[in-house]
Amino acid sequence: MRIFKSIFLLIAVAMTAACCNGTSQIISVKNGQFVKNGKPYYFIGTNMWYATILASEGEGGNRERLARELDSLKALGIDNLRILVGADGDSSLPCKVEPMLQTAPGVYNDTLLRGLDYLLVEMGKRDMQAVLYLNNSWEWSGGYSQYLTWAGYGKAPIPRIDGYSNFETFVGNYMKSDTAKNLYFDHLKNIVSRTNTITGKPYSEDPAIFSWQIANEPRPFGKENKELFAQWIAESASIIKSIDPNHMVSIGSEGKYGCQVDIQLWKELGALDQIDYMNIHIWPHTWRWVSKEESEPMNDIEQGIEYTFKYIDEHLLLAKEVGKPLTLEEFGYPRDGFSFSTESTTAARDIYYDNVMKFLISQAQNGGTLGGCNFWAWSGSAKVNHLWWEKGDDYTGDPAQEEQGLYSVFLSDRSTIEVIKSNIEELHETLNY
């Protein structure tokens, strides 16, 4: 078992604003590695799904906070952010983020679209890149279930209220519905073909975009849907590439757990010509690799790390066979005692983060296939007012269907911040950045 030892220093990290003119070229893949400005590129990034909302001048917008968060991330050395393009459908449903980007098929909140324009400009100033995902398996931003509702399948179940099995049965219809998929294709085309209203530059030419991502954690939702799922992924990727041949395309997959535990299906999808790199997600608690019943999470941490590396290794092997980079674009670990309070400690999470990030560094040192990792999720200066998000609350890394603070990294989490900062510094030293 690979357990990387670390000493955690509980010190404050000085956050300095760091804005620069974006001079980067669009990032690409060459010989199985990410390449940025002609050099191999490895990254430690984060998820900040709500960034487009903060960037708007409408409901939920807070450009002052956006600037603070981007500057804080840049000061840590983070330059890769995974971001939701926007939510779909009815904003009145519980467990759903607000405001909505697509309020009806093809009907958009223009304020949010201009927010996305502004976000890309601000990220470009800081030489940061966005992974932009365009759909979602899960109800918190609409996605599958909303497209099915628009296609005439009725009201979508909400897992927390109606039960997960009912939700799973409902969204299993998505792959069978040409109408629902075509509504998504229309959305995809509308976003990818957009021209930035601030710069006048087509999105297809913007180096602030790292990649287009088909969906957040797309799943077939049923073994009988695997073939239809593969067809949908291929068609989605082909449409994106036909509009924007310059940027990379990825799937957003969890790995084999996003493919009915069929790792060969995951490999086949990653091998598609239109897919530039492969993804996995890892959730030790959600996947019950470690027990939520333990009052002391340190009791399970070694097992959590062991299972994490097993999952990474089996996907790395296939990604290497395909000849494409792999990113661990979601990984998270709860606070000690499974507390949601920002006052609680994060010792187990810090160890987990440190091990994952040091493994990435070892990949960079050896020209390995794992090209990046994005922890879930950045909450920065947000304040938590309620256990479950309510309209008017600060946005955190935990979306509306999750307890607020569950996986969030706040600026006040000084030990976690130090782990992130020190590992990024080591990574940059390795790459001579």
In residues, how long is the chain?
433
Residue 5 lies in a domain: no
Computed over every residue of the chain, the mean pLDDT equals 92
| pLDDT, mean of residues 129-152 | 97
Q: Residue 332 in contact with residue 375, Cβ under 8 Å? A: yes
Which one is predicted more confidently, 322 or 294? 322
Domain with 95 in it: 28-431
List, as one string, the DSSP characters of 210-260: EEEES-BS---SSGGGHHHHHHHHHHHHHHHHHH-SSSEEE----SGGGTT
**Is residue 14 very low, low, confident or very high in pLDDT (cuts 50, 70, 90)?**
very low
Residue 8 has pLDDT above 50, yes or no: no
List, as one string, the DSSP characters of 164-188: HHHHHHHHTTGGG-HHHHHHHHHHH
Residue 1 lies in a domain: no
- Nearest residue to 144 (alpha-carbon basis) of 179, 180, 93: 180
pLDDT at 296: 62
C-alpha 221/C-alpha 244 separation (Å) is 29
Q: Up-side HSE of residue 287: CA atoms within 13 Å toward CB?
A: 19
List, as one string, the DSSP characters of 377-431: -EEET-----SS--TTSPP-SS-TTS-TTSS-EETT-HHHHHHHHHHHHHHHHHH
Q: Residue 122 in contact with residue 70, Cβ under 8 Å? A: yes
Which one is predicted more confidently, 104 or 7? 104
| DSSP symbol at 329 | E
Residue owning tokens 């291929």: 234
pTM for the whole thing? 0.93
Q: What's CA 345's distance to the chain center, in Å? A: 24
Determine what percent of the chain is predicted with pLDDT higher than 90. 88
Q: pLDDT of 23-55, one tens digit each?
A: 469 999 999 999 999 999 999 999 999 999 999
Residue 217 lies in a domain: yes
- Three-state secondary structure call for residue 331: strand
- Nearest residue to 97 (alpha-carbon basis) of 43, 136, 39: 136
C-alpha 103/C-alpha 111 separation (Å) is 12
Determine what percent of the chain is predicted with pLDDT higher than 70. 93
| pLDDT, mean of residues 253-272 | 98
Residue 317 has pLDDT above 90, yes or no: yes
Residue 2 lies in a domain: no
- Nearest residue to 95 (alpha-carbon basis) of 167, 10, 178, 41: 167
Residue 251 lies in a domain: yes
pLDDT at 337: 84
* Number of structural domains the chain divides into: 1
Could you tell me the CATH number of the domain that includes residue 232? 3.20.20.80
Residue 78 lies in a domain: yes
**Is residue 17 very low, low, confident or very high in pLDDT (cuts 50, 70, 90)?**
very low
Q: Up-side HSE of residue 341: CA atoms within 13 Å toward CB?
A: 6
Q: pLDDT of 177-224, one tens digit each?
A: 999 999 999 999 999 999 999 999 999 999 999 999 999 999 999 999
Residue 422 has pLDDT above 70, yes or no: yes
Backbone angles phi, psi at 40, to 5 degrees: -55, 140
CA dihedral 3, 8, 12, 14 (to 10 degrees): -40
Residue 426 lies in a domain: yes
Q: What's CA 271's distance to the chain center, in Å? A: 21
Q: pLDDT of 130-139, one tens digit each?
A: 999 999 999 9
List, as one string, the DSSP characters of 102-162: EEETTEE-HHHHHHHHHHHHHHHHTT-EEEEE--BSSGGG-HHHHHHHHTT--PPP-HHHH
Residue 282 has pLDDT above 50, yes or no: yes
Residue 15 has pLDDT above 60, yes or no: no
